[in-house]
Structure 1
Amino acid sequence: MTSPHDDPPRRPPVISSPRRAAVSAAAVTAVLVLACAALASAGGPADRRDPTADPAPEAVATSAPLDVAADRLTDQTGLAVTIDALSPAALEPGNRLRLSGQVTNVGRGSWRDAQVYLDIAYDPVTTKGALDDANSSDEPFGTRIVEFGLFDRIGAVPPGTTTSYRLDVPYAELPLSGAAGVHRVGVTVLVTNRDGERVEAARADTVMPLVAASDPTPPPAEVVIVVPVTAPIARHQSGNFLDERIAGAISAGGRLRNLVDLIEAVPPDTLEIVVDPALLDAVQDMSDGYAVTTRQEEADQGSGRNGTGQVEAEEWLADFQTVTARQNLLLMAWGSPDASALASQRMPGVVAAAVRASDEFAVDSGLITPTVSWQKNGASTRRGLVVSRIAGAVIQFVAADNLVNLRAQGESAYLPSLVTVPTEEGELTGVVTARELAGQRLTMSTSVLDFRQNLMAEATIRSLEAASAPSPMVVALPFGWNPGDAAEVDVATAFDLATVEPVDLKAVTQSTPAAYPGPIRLTPAQSPLSDELTDAIVRLRTNGNTFTSLLTDNADAAAFDRRLAVSATSLWLGQPQERLALIRMESRAAAEQLRKVTVTGPTFVALSSRSGRFPLTITNGLQESVTLRVDVRAQNPALRIDPIAELVLEPGQSRDIEVTTRSDSSGLTPVRVRLSTVDGKVFGAPWEFDVRATQIGVAIWVVMGAGSVILVGTVAFRLVRRIRTEGLHPREEPNP
């Protein structure tokens, strides 16, 4: 590892300062790619990507943002260092400390005589505040191990190259106070500059608990780890898939494949798995064989192409069912709809449809599990929480970020994990999810190694401060998180630590909630649904609900509930135009189907009596049976229309009906005929015509009757009189 000719620097004194976030290999690789691209743009050779090639793979989680160059040292030197492996996960007397990782030159200058050293803090941190401070800065810290054999000489690091390092330090060589707590541990890369001076060129560090020295061992901290299993679902109304994104995610190296592998790697009963049933439904359909069609192919009713992920879907689904049988499984509302945006747009029915769809999925799948409301990363508002609860969601998750005035209670240094919120519908209880762990944000770039180390560190500090940390902590992994290859980090060791005690959500919901009056609002980073998208969802809801209500066999109603919920998902924010196009396609398709059921009739009706009839023709141009109502209304209420019974029309059937009308007055009255579903949803173009009613009054009939009687009486009188005076002799012919 080192040469006896190396002249190691003298061990510096202990430095008390905060921590710089560790950088993972994936982050450095990404920066290296960007740096190479920058060199290419300056005139160097470049690997130009074929625009027709497959999409780039999903980004794997890293332990620092991908813009590593933003780090001060890396920005100055172009060198970046990672900690990719750390053993053991917690400091243990007698056990050697082993670290390994990579040093990458993402700059343009070449460095020589690079050496990697171990840095470690002598005194541990023992409070929440100290841990957060120590775990969130990039300053040098602690004592550097400079003895021969305990650092790694990696030599020259030319631009665009990566070199691995490995450190192996006996526990006895670690300058530790021996007190229980959390120690900062890191690596520093020293290089020789142009002036021949040894300078620091890159740093990375993490945290490690030490609890073996504590006597007695403090009580463990209760931990709830919530893992979202989600993906945007891009499907047509026919069930065909828009692309192969899900197939890529469940294949080897894909995000969902890596997530299942991570769940498999942890002990039983340690995680709360919250899955979107829309994802499970999609993968199940893929496992039976599926088609992929573009929007144009779908519009042209083309067959598209066969999907390529059937085998991967079968394997992923089987593995998911196996690993989740060992953990606590919960269902999200179908598609994880944006309840907050829907509530603000007065569309609670979409949330209700999502919860209803998840409940039905649970019954159909034989699952006994509640449906929970968890919008992307817990983003929510008070209205969103209320709408979700009314819809039937049993548990409401809300991010601590959205509880803008939430504070630690009493002498506690920790935010509560359960809150009660006053609403117009009564008091509401919400589970608070933390977006920070050991002072670091949980982001898409959080590595499994950082997650493991930060989890153990936070639990250890909570254990030491047990009196001020009464409620379990709820740690929610980010939506869309890709943990990478789970085999590279032994995550299970985190749950072997004496200070970590996994519990389920029941422990949280049974704890004492903290009262939180408000406000609850979205952060600037949590984008609401656009007005354009909201309008499209409204039209889809109207057209789709009307069409499914029209069908005699209402089996498609459940399928539409699912599609409607997915249209308002909080998961698919990255492709708004693509999402908008899919929603509009289905809305137009439903509207076109509704236009195939029509009503026609006369253009004019004349009534010469108090009542009369006129014909109407109802036509069902669909390939399915429909049940509907015919509503005939006159502008003048004096023209009354007898009610018409519900009609059932078979596919392609036309039916003529007679409508009875009654009038108490004369005149011309406009009449409108509308079709509606049995639950009152009006659809289709109306049929309009005029009715002229001519009424002859009773007095006229009496006069006419009386006149007729007089006339008949007069004629009869004259006949009788003539007979009496002249007899019945025939009248003589006149003489010529």
Structure 2
Amino acid sequence: MIRLLAALLAPLVVIAGLVLGLPTHQGEDLQRVIGAQADADGQAAAALGGAVTEATTAKHAAPRAASLRAAAGTDATPTALPLGVTMTGLSSAVVPKEKAVVVRGRVVNDSDETWTDINVYACSSGAPITSSHELDHAAEATTDDVVCGRTSVFTTIDSLAPGASAAYRLKVDRDRLGIGSQPGVYWFGVQALGTSTEGRDSVADGTVRTFLPQVGESAGPRPDAAFSLVLPIRARTLHTADGRLANPDTWATDLGTGGRLSNMLALAASAPAGEATLLVDPAVVDAVRELAAGNPARDLGTATVAPSDDASPAAADPDPQDDATAAVADDAAAWLRSFTDVARRLPVLALPYGDLDVAGASHHDVRALARARQESEAVFKDLDVAATPAIVPPNGLLPAEARELADGATVIVSSAALPDSLATADAVPSSVSIGGEQVLVAGSSLSLGGPGPTDGSRALALRQRLLAEGLLRSDEDATDPALVVLPYDADPGPRVAHFFDELDRSFLRLTGVSAPDGTAPELEDLAYPSGQLDREIPHSTFAEADRLTELGDTLDRILPRNAGLAATAAREALSATSYFARDTSLAAAELEGTATANLGGAVAWFDDRLASVDVSVPRFVILGSTEGPFAMTVTNDLTRPIRLGIRATTTGGLDIRAPRTINVPASSSRTVNLVARATGPGVHSVVLVVTDEDGHPIRKSQDISIRSRDVGWVIWLIMGGGAALLFGAIALRWRKRLRARAATPAVVPGRDPEDGTTTDTETPEAP
């Protein structure tokens, strides 16, 4: 009986295995997967059209698609698949005429259980996408919305433990590709189906997809579609309270082999001249310099890092015991050399220093934007790199106040800021005119690159999206260049060597960012949602940043040799008021409150140093006459010498003479005499201001009262009278003496002094 049941069930088991695990037929009989509810033309994805997106810290298309849906007002979330599939290589960027397509990648087990018997299939769509509008929807669609049919080509992975991965390679002959002869853009992807503890079904457990254009036969030359590709060099450049670059581990990863900034620079380096434009935050360049110098703490002896002839820093020797620091310094120095070479060859758009929150600055501190431009110009001047000022918010949104402060800078916004009539048009304009000012427009969907779940900025995904867009735009005779600004955190991946070679097609042309041609649509204004106001850097943070800037400028000016502290403070302040210092951005990176705390710490550092310089003067001075000195003591507890000046403002009738400069050695004090001269008696007010040697005030003024006594002539009169009396008395005394001496007669022997007679005297005999 048991044998009979087994015999009856065996065919059913075989049929179930064929249904669940074997490939389907190709061509028109393509299989629906992942419960799709619309066809490949994007009917289900149409709900995503016109979505307003803001750049996030997400690195993959799944969270990116989630933000698109949230902006579009839908609560749908993509299905989380247990197996992650990547596509790292695609032998043909377009559908080949005859030869096979080879696709490579990896399958990763993202679940908590082991998967076995994993079949990895190539899949494609049967109907092409034929318009740019449809392509936008397709790129924004999630894996839940995609129809793709598995071909008969597959390979098998026996088992994957949690977190494990395995490589795959599929070679799909042209006649097994499942794509007909109709021109247009097709889906091409890879799906993984495996067995878990819940069993096995026909729904894909992991998938990756891209676009594969098919060029039709043309009777004549096909018009080319132009693209302006902008490659961002942007990152968060916050500093700690002691002046070190924050998050050095993240920087080490980004600058190392295969890191985000390293990959983006490699992509730029592979671009032929004029076929790409760099969008650079100069604070990133400064941050790399700091890392190349060992990421030292801020101190009074540290000057602003200046490039050498080859633009590489004179890096301080890191601790030989710290291999990690040495490795980061080497990577940073190499990146900086490469960047300088690339920036001198490609056009450069220079962002305000620190990627300043221009929207917030326009509402709270317009001076910050002027400082950010000055610091940006200084960095590129040091590098000997020609750069064009630009304002390009990471989220693509800019208020009218910020646009009015552009002052000739190139302004680029996202098409999400356009009215719906333009944002959802078949051909989104690449520029608009507002009040006579031209504003460039980057396509929000096109800038996100290829479809998810792959990161759309990866070189392969971006390349296929540009080719697909180029093919469709050439069919639509679109001559207006499309502007493509990659997201600020775009990572093209390490495989970028042949990116621009594959884009060298007859229907596609890459250009630099060019000025609008004057035919741009006229608009009254751009959209700036009210919710954006709450996301801006607040006024209190800008005020604290201004204080840091002022303190750094003050401390820098009293040092006899410029230590670069003014620029250091200004640049740290600008980085603390960056778009990437917004609360929402910091929260996404799990760095809540760090920008405010570090800014406050920097202010305290400069405050402490300035408090180490003390000037002591008496508040009340009494002069013994109309002129006299009084003392001033300068104490310098800094580890470097200082140089000060004195400026005195007085009321009428008083003049103060002081040394032009006062030099005080490190860790010492000096007393100097100031001389006051009054033209009359009375109390005079003096306002004494401590300045730098150029006369700029550096300390709060001090009020001094000086009292003078105009009694000098009385003293001289008394002294003269006394001298006259003294010498008169002496003369009179001598005169009396002389008279007395003259009046006394001389005594003559033998004469009586009474009557003058002579008296005989007896002279005794000699014995």
Q: Structure 1 length as normaliser, TM-score? A: 0.71
Q: Report the CA distance shift for 1:440/1:276 in structure 2 as closer, same or farther (over 3 A).
A: closer
Which of 439, 444, 457 matches 2:468?
A: 457
**Pairwise CA distance, 1:88:** 0.7
Which of 264, 267, 273 matches 1:262?
A: 267
Q: CA RMSD in A?
A: 4.5
Which of 507, 511, 524 matches 1:517?
A: 524
Distance between the aligned counterparts of 1:485 and 1:260, measured in 2?
10
Distance between the aligned counterparts of 2:690 and 2:186, measured in 1?
74
Which of 473, 487, 490 matches 1:478?
A: 487
Which of 492, 499, 503 matches 1:491?
A: 499
Distance between the aligned counterparts of 1:304 and 1:365, measured in 2?
24
Larger radius of gyration: 2
> How big is each residue's C-alpha offset from its partner over 1:472-511, in whole Å with a ceiling of 9 and x where there is no partner?
1111122233333225x84234422322211011x24455
The amino acid of 1:405's aligned partner reads P
> How big is each residue's C-alpha offset from its partner over 1:362-420, in whole Å with a ceiling of 9 and x where there is no partner?
33333333333344454533333444x34xx732333344x3537529x9623322233
Distance between the aligned counterparts of 1:105 and 1:66, measured in 2?
21
Q: Report the CA distance shift for 1:134/1:80 in structure 2 as closer, same or farther (over 3 A).
A: same
**Pairwise CA distance, 1:120:** 2.4
Distance between the aligned counterparts of 1:643 and 1:406, measured in 2?
71
What is aligned with 1:337? 356
Which of 575, 585, 600 matches 1:584?
A: 600
What is aligned with 1:211? 215
Q: Report the CA distance shift for 1:160/1:352 in structure 2 as closer, same or farther (over 3 A).
A: closer
The amino acid of 1:344's aligned partner reads H
**Pairwise CA distance, 1:614:** 7.0
What is aligned with 1:405? 419
Verify: 1:65 aligned to 2:74, yes or no. Answer: no
Q: Report the CA distance shift for 1:413/1:694 in structure 2 as closer, same or farther (over 3 A).
A: farther
**Pairwise CA distance, 1:90:** 1.3
- Asked if the contact 2:231–2:276 (Cα under 8 Å) also holds between the matched residues in 1, the reply is yes
What is aligned with 1:26? none
The amino acid of 2:547's aligned partner reads R
Verify: 1:223 aligned to 2:227, yes or no. Answer: yes
- Asked if the contact 2:238–2:572 (Cα under 8 Å) also holds between the matched residues in 1, the reply is no
What is aligned with 2:647? 630
Distance between the aligned counterparts of 1:73 and 1:247, measured in 2?
33
**Pairwise CA distance, 1:173:** 3.3
Distance between the aligned counterparts of 1:441 and 1:631, measured in 2?
68
- For residue 540 of structure 1, give the secondary structure of its aligned residue in structure 2: helix
Distance between the aligned counterparts of 1:534 and 1:133, measured in 2?
40
> How big is each residue's C-alpha offset from its partner over 1:65-95, in whole Å with a ceiling of 9 and x where there is no partner?
3999x998854x7344443332311113223
- For residue 463 of structure 2, give the secondary structure of its aligned residue in structure 1: helix
The amino acid of 1:276's aligned partner reads D
- Asked if the contact 2:213–2:467 (Cα under 8 Å) also holds between the matched residues in 1, the reply is yes
Percent of aligned positions that are identical: 21
Q: Report the CA distance shift for 1:203/1:233 in structure 2 as closer, same or farther (over 3 A).
A: closer
- For residue 675 of structure 1, give the secondary structure of its aligned residue in structure 2: strand
Distance between the aligned counterparts of 2:551 and 2:560, measured in 1?
16
> How big is each residue's C-alpha offset from its partner over 1:446-483, in whole Å with a ceiling of 9 and x where there is no partner?
333222211222222222222xx443111112223333
- Asked if the contact 2:224–2:509 (Cα under 8 Å) also holds between the matched residues in 1, the reply is yes
**Pairwise CA distance, 1:693:** 8.7
**Pairwise CA distance, 1:692:** 6.5
The amino acid of 1:518's aligned partner reads D
Verify: 1:430 aligned to 2:422, yes or no. Answer: no
- For residue 367 of structure 1, give the secondary structure of its aligned residue in structure 2: coil
> How big is each residue's C-alpha offset from its partner over 1:269-315, in whole Å with a ceiling of 9 and x where there is no partner?
3211123333334434554x4354599xx9xxxx9956423332333
- For residue 436 of structure 1, give the secondary structure of its aligned residue in structure 2: helix
The amino acid of 1:255's aligned partner reads R
Q: Report the CA distance shift for 1:414/1:642 in structure 2 as closer, same or farther (over 3 A).
A: farther
**Pairwise CA distance, 1:439:** 7.6
Verify: 1:603 aligned to 2:619, yes or no. Answer: yes
- For residue 607 of structure 2, give the secondary structure of its aligned residue in structure 1: helix
Q: Report the CA distance shift for 1:659/1:512 in structure 2 as closer, same or farther (over 3 A).
A: farther
Which of 129, 136, 141 matches 2:133?
A: 129
- Asked if the contact 2:233–2:280 (Cα under 8 Å) also holds between the matched residues in 1, the reply is yes
Distance between the aligned counterparts of 1:195 and 1:353, measured in 2?
63
Which of 437, 448, 451 matches 2:459?
A: 448
Paired residues for 1:78-117 under 5 Å: 78-107=82-111, 114-117=118-121
Distance between the aligned counterparts of 2:450 and 2:189, measured in 1?
19
- Asked if the contact 2:85–2:108 (Cα under 8 Å) also holds between the matched residues in 1, the reply is yes
Verify: 1:415 aligned to 2:428, yes or no. Answer: yes
Structure 1 residues 192-201 or 258-267, which shifts more? 192-201
> How big is each residue's C-alpha offset from its partner over 1:581-628, in whole Å with a ceiling of 9 and x where there is no partner?
44334433433444455544443356999x777746263736445354
Question: Which structure 1 residue ranges, 5 or more long, are not aligned?
Answer: 22-58, 697-736
Paired residues for 1:166-181 under 5 Å: 166-181=169-184
The amino acid of 2:574's aligned partner reads A
- Asked if the contact 2:276–2:510 (Cα under 8 Å) also holds between the matched residues in 1, the reply is yes
Distance between the aligned counterparts of 1:385 and 1:324, measured in 2?
26
The amino acid of 1:417's aligned partner reads S
What is aligned with 2:699? 684
Verify: 1:541 aligned to 2:559, yes or no. Answer: no
Q: Report the CA distance shift for 1:462/1:642 in structure 2 as closer, same or farther (over 3 A).
A: farther
Question: Which structure 2 residue ranges, 5 or more long, are not aligned?
Answer: 1-16, 33-38, 46-56, 67-74, 303-316, 712-767
What is aligned with 1:718? none
- For residue 437 of structure 1, give the secondary structure of its aligned residue in structure 2: helix
- Asked if the contact 1:60–1:255 (Cα under 8 Å) also holds between the matched residues in 2, the reply is no
What is aligned with 2:334? 315
- Asked if the contact 1:235–1:241 (Cα under 8 Å) also holds between the matched residues in 2, the reply is yes
- For residue 468 of structure 2, give the secondary structure of its aligned residue in structure 1: helix
Q: Report the CA distance shift for 1:581/1:439 in structure 2 as closer, same or farther (over 3 A).
A: closer
- Asked if the contact 1:116–1:187 (Cα under 8 Å) also holds between the matched residues in 2, the reply is yes
How many residues are matched? Answer: 625
Which of 277, 284, 296 matches 1:272?
A: 277
**Pairwise CA distance, 1:109:** 6.1
Q: Report the CA distance shift for 1:660/1:412 in structure 2 as closer, same or farther (over 3 A).
A: farther
Structure 1 residues 438-447 or 573-582, which shifts more? 438-447
- Asked if the contact 1:273–1:327 (Cα under 8 Å) also holds between the matched residues in 2, the reply is yes
Distance between the aligned counterparts of 1:567 and 1:195, measured in 2?
53
Distance between the aligned counterparts of 1:534 and 1:327, measured in 2?
34
- Asked if the contact 1:405–1:518 (Cα under 8 Å) also holds between the matched residues in 2, the reply is no
What is aligned with 2:732? none
What is aligned with 1:502? 510
- Asked if the contact 1:73–1:201 (Cα under 8 Å) also holds between the matched residues in 2, the reply is no
Paired residues for 1:177-196 under 5 Å: 177-190=180-193
What is aligned with 2:661? 648
The amino acid of 1:383's aligned partner reads E
Distance between the aligned counterparts of 1:650 and 1:693, measured in 2?
30
**Pairwise CA distance, 1:225:** 1.1
Q: Report the CA distance shift for 1:662/1:555 in structure 2 as closer, same or farther (over 3 A).
A: farther
Which of 350, 365, 368 matches 2:386?
A: 368
Which of 401, 419, 422 matches 1:383?
A: 401
Which of 233, 248, 258 matches 1:253?
A: 258
What is aligned with 1:17? 40
- Asked if the contact 1:131–1:439 (Cα under 8 Å) also holds between the matched residues in 2, the reply is no
Q: Report the CA distance shift for 1:117/1:597 in structure 2 as closer, same or farther (over 3 A).
A: closer
Distance between the aligned counterparts of 2:508 and 2:135, measured in 1?
17
Q: Report the CA distance shift for 1:651/1:509 in structure 2 as closer, same or farther (over 3 A).
A: farther
The amino acid of 1:516's aligned partner reads L
What is aligned with 1:700? none
- For residue 135 of structure 1, give the secondary structure of its aligned residue in structure 2: helix
Distance between the aligned counterparts of 2:695 and 2:25, measured in 1?
85
